[in-house]
Amino acid sequence: MSYGSTLRPRLRSRKRRPSAELDGNCSCFVFNVTFDRLENGKAKHYKPREPLRAPPHPFTSSTVVVFFAADRSDVCRKRREDMGDLAESADRKQQGALDAREFDRQFEEIVKELTEPDLNHPEIGDAIRRLREVLEYNAPGGKRNRGLSVIASFRELSRPQTPDAESVQRALVVGWCIELLQAFFLVADDIMDASVTRRGQPCWYKRGGVGLDAINDSFLLEAMIYRLLKRYCRAQPCSLNLIELFLETSYQTELGQALDLMTAQPDRIDLTRFTEERYKAIVKYKTAFYSFYLPVAAAMYLAGIDGEEQHSNAKAILLEMGEFFQIQDDFLDCFGDPAVTGKIGTDIEDNKCSWLVVETLRRASPEQRRVLEESYGRHDSESVSRVKSLYSELGMPVLFGELEERSFQRLRGLIERHANTLPHAVFLSFAHKIYKRNK
C-alpha cells in the first residue's frame, strides 16, 4: 500500500521508533501523522485509510501506520529515509525537553550538595549562606544553551548505545559547571562594563548590600566548578582532561577579556584600534572557546573521545560558530528588544569593539566617520542616537541579514568537511539554535 508522491506528511507526535522489517516485502513506520493531499495545487487535510494488515505492535487508535513497499527503487528508499529522519528529529526534540527538565532539577541538587553540609558550620556558616544566594541568583535564568549542549552532545556521541543514568547525571553536572563558569564571567564582566541589567534583573553587583563584594562572589562561582568536577568525575578516565579543559578555557577567555578591555578603554577613545583582526581575536578568545568549543569538547571527553585530530576538527567548526554568535550578539545589543534579550545594550556607550562599529568604519564616508568619532563612546543619549542612526543609514540591518545567511551556509560546509568522524547532529544542533535568534 503506497500513498503516492502527492502526499506530504506532517508529523504530530511520535509514538514509536521505526520498526524492523515485517517481512521481505514491506517496512513499517509507526507515527501519529496526518497528510495534506494536493488537489488542483491546493492542500487538503487527509487521513489515510486503515492499513491492510496490522503490524506486530501495540498501538493506540490515534496511531497511523504507514507501509512502504520494499522494492529497490530510489523513490521508495528515499521515502523510508525521510520518514526515519522525521522520527529521529522528533526523538531528539522529545529527549531534549526531558533533559532540560532534568537539568533544572539537577541544579537544585547541586546547590544542596555545595551548601547544606556547612550551612550550620560555626566558622563559615555565614559565608555558605552567602554562597547559596550567589548561586541561586546568578547561575540559573539564562538560556542554558551551553550547559544543555553537553548532555545533548554526549547523547549523540554515545550512539548507538544509550548512556546509563550515572553517565547522564555526570553530563548534566558538567553542563552546570559550564553554566557556573558563565556566571563567574558575567558577574565580573558586569562590574567592568558598569552594566545595569542581566537576564531581565539587576546585575548582581547592583543589588543592595552587594556592590564590589561581587568580585569575591565571582571567585566563589569559579571555585564551585572544581568542587563539582572532583565530586562527580574524579574516578573517571576523563577527569584530568576535563580539569585541564576548564582551566585552559578560563585562561583563553580571560585573555579575550583583556584584549577587549585594552581595546575599549573608556577614557581613551581611539577608533583606529577597531580593526577586523582585533575584533576576530577578541571574539575567538572571549566568546568562542567557552561558549562553543568547551561544551562539545567536554562531551567528547565524557564519551571517551580524546583524539587530538577529532578535537582539532571540532574546534575548527565551533570557533567559526562562536564568531557568528558574537556578531549576532553585537547586532542585538543595538537593534534587539531589551524586553526579549533581557539586557539593555551599552556597546556604544562602553566604546566596545563590536562588529557594527568595525563594519561602519570600513564603509563610512569622511563625514560619517567624523560623526562616529565625535559620538562613539559617549554616554549621552544624543550621541548614542547619532551612532544608531549612522548604523541604519549605512544599512547595517540588511548587511547583518545577508551575513547571517552566508555564515549559516558556511557552517554547514565546515561540518561536511571536518566532522567526518563525528556525528553531524552535534554541530547542526548548535547551528540551528543560534540561526535567526533574537536573544
Q: Is the pLDDT of residue 107 over 70?
A: yes
Residues 422-437 have a mean pLDDT of 88
Residues 105-134 have a mean pLDDT of 96
Provide the 8-state DSSP code for 49: P
| Residue ranges of domains in the chain | 7-70, 75-263, 265-281+319-439
pLDDT band at residue 323 under the 50/70/90 scheme: very high
Q: How far apart are CA 48 and CA 182, in angstroms?
A: 50
- Non-local (6+) Cβ contacts of 33 within 8 A are 9, 10, 11, 12, 64, 66
pLDDT tens profile 158-206:
988 899 999 999 999 999 999 999 999 999 999 998 888 888 899 999 9
Enter the pTM of the model.
0.76
Q: Is the pLDDT of residue 16 over 80?
A: no
Q: How far apart are CA 144 and CA 393, in angstroms?
A: 35
Out of 99, 330, 333, 347, the active site residue is 330
Q: What percent of the chain has pLDDT over 70?
A: 80
265-281+319-439 fold: Farnesyl Diphosphate Synthase (1.10.600)
Out of 99, 190, 217, 329, the active site residue is 329
Among 3.60.21.10, 1.20.1250.20, 1.20.140.10, 1.10.600.10, name the CATH number for the domain at 75-263. 1.10.600.10
Beta carbons within 10 angstroms of residue 120's beta carbon: 9
Q: How far apart are CA 296 and CA 150, in angstroms?
A: 6
Could you confirm whether 329 is annotated as catalytic? Answer: yes
Give residue for cell 537593534. Answer: 335
Q: Taking a C-beta distance cutoff of 8 angstroms, is the pair 239, 229 a contact?
A: yes
Out of 198, 284, 352, 386, the active site residue is 198
Residues 331-347 have a mean pLDDT of 88
- Non-local (6+) Cβ contacts of 422 within 8 A are 157, 305, 310, 313, 314
pLDDT value, residue 104: 94
Provide the 8-state DSSP code for 73: -
Q: Do domains 75-263 and 265-281+319-439 have the same CATH topology?
A: yes
Residues 335-341 have a mean pLDDT of 87
pLDDT band at residue 20 under the 50/70/90 scheme: very low
Out of 105, 143, 268, 362, the active site residue is 143
pLDDT band at residue 389 under the 50/70/90 scheme: very high
Out of 170, 284, 286, 386, the active site residue is 286
Q: Taking a C-beta distance cutoff of 8 angstroms, is the pair 172, 228 a contact?
A: no
Cell reading at 57: 505492535
Out of 193, 217, 333, 347, the active site residue is 193
Query: What string of DSSP letters covers 248-290?
Result: HHHHHHHHHHHHHHHHT-TTS--GGG--HHHHHHHHIIIIIII
pLDDT tens profile 259-299:
999 998 877 889 999 999 999 999 999 999 999 999 999 99
Could you confirm whether 74 is annotated as catalytic? Answer: no
Could you confirm whether 143 is annotated as catalytic? Answer: yes
pLDDT band at residue 340 under the 50/70/90 scheme: confident
Q: Is the pLDDT of residue 45 over 80?
A: no
Out of 325, 331, 427, 430, the active site residue is 325
Q: Is the pLDDT of residue 116 over 50?
A: yes
Amino acid code (one letter) for 213: D
Beta carbons within 10 angstroms of residue 278's beta carbon: 16
Instruction: Give the chain's mean pLDDT.
Output: 84
Residues 213-227 have a mean pLDDT of 98
- Non-local (6+) Cβ contacts of 168 within 8 A are 102, 151, 154
Q: Taking a C-beta distance cutoff of 8 angstroms, is the pair 391, 360 a contact?
A: yes
Out of 189, 227, 433, 439, the active site residue is 189
Query: What string of DSSP letters covers 149-211?
Result: HHHHHHHHHHTTSPPPHHHHHHHHHHHHHHHHHHHHHHHHHHHHHT--EETTEE-GGGSTTTG
Q: Is the pLDDT of residue 387 over 90?
A: yes
pLDDT value, residue 64: 43
pLDDT value, residue 50: 45
Picking from 183-192, 372-381, 418-427, which range would have the lowest pLDDT averaged per residue? 418-427
pLDDT value, residue 419: 85
Could you confirm whether 325 is annotated as catalytic? Answer: yes
State whether residue 29 is helix, strand or coil: strand
Cα–Cα distances in angstroms (integers) from residue 229 to residues 43, 154, 170, 233, in the given order:
54, 16, 9, 5
Could you confirm whether 286 is annotated as catalytic? Answer: yes
pLDDT value, residue 62: 42
Around 144, how many Cα atoms within 13 Å sit in the side-chain half-sphere? 21
Residues 94-105 have a mean pLDDT of 90
Could you confirm whether 324 is annotated as catalytic? Answer: no
Beta carbons within 10 angstroms of residue 230's beta carbon: 11
Between 84 and 309, whose confidence is greater? 309
Give residue for cell 500513498. Answer: 3
Residue 283 phi/psi, 5-degree rounding, is: -65, -45
Out of 184, 274, 292, 430, the active site residue is 184
Q: Is the pLDDT of residue 88 over 80?
A: no
Q: Is the peptide bond before 51 cis (omega within 30 degrees of 0)?
A: no
